[in-house]
Amino acid sequence: MIEALAAGLPVACTDVGGVTDVTRGEARAALAPPWDDAALCAAMERAVFTPKDGRVIAGEMAEEYGVAAVAAKTMALYERLAREKGVRE
């Protein structure tokens, strides 16, 4: 799902786990509740026939999940953990 969104492709998926966090609700993808085949089919139709602006979403995904963003978040996490544990450089 993340890779498809980053490529600017239309996405339809079930709303489970952290999907809503990545898709920001239906701002980036068409969602359906889990175990609802009819709703998933409808989400697929929405994704294909009324797609979101893939270029905008791809840019958002690069900012949020690209290498630089993930590296910065990881470094911030390590720094926070080091401060909490009293580790010095």
d(CA 81, CA 19): 27
Q: What is the pLDDT of residue 89?
A: 63
How confident is the model at residue 61, as a pLDDT? 93
d(CA 19, CA 52): 16
Condensed to tens digits (0 to 9), the pLDDT of residues 31-66 reads 999 999 999 999 999 999 998 999 999 999 999 888
Q: Give me the residue spans of the domains in the chain.
A: 2-85
Counting Cα atoms < 13 Å in the Cβ hemisphere of 56 gives 7
Q: How far is CA 48 from CA 7, 10, 24, 43, 52, in A?
A: 15, 6, 18, 9, 9
What predicted TM-score, i.e. pTM, was given to this entire model? Answer: 0.74
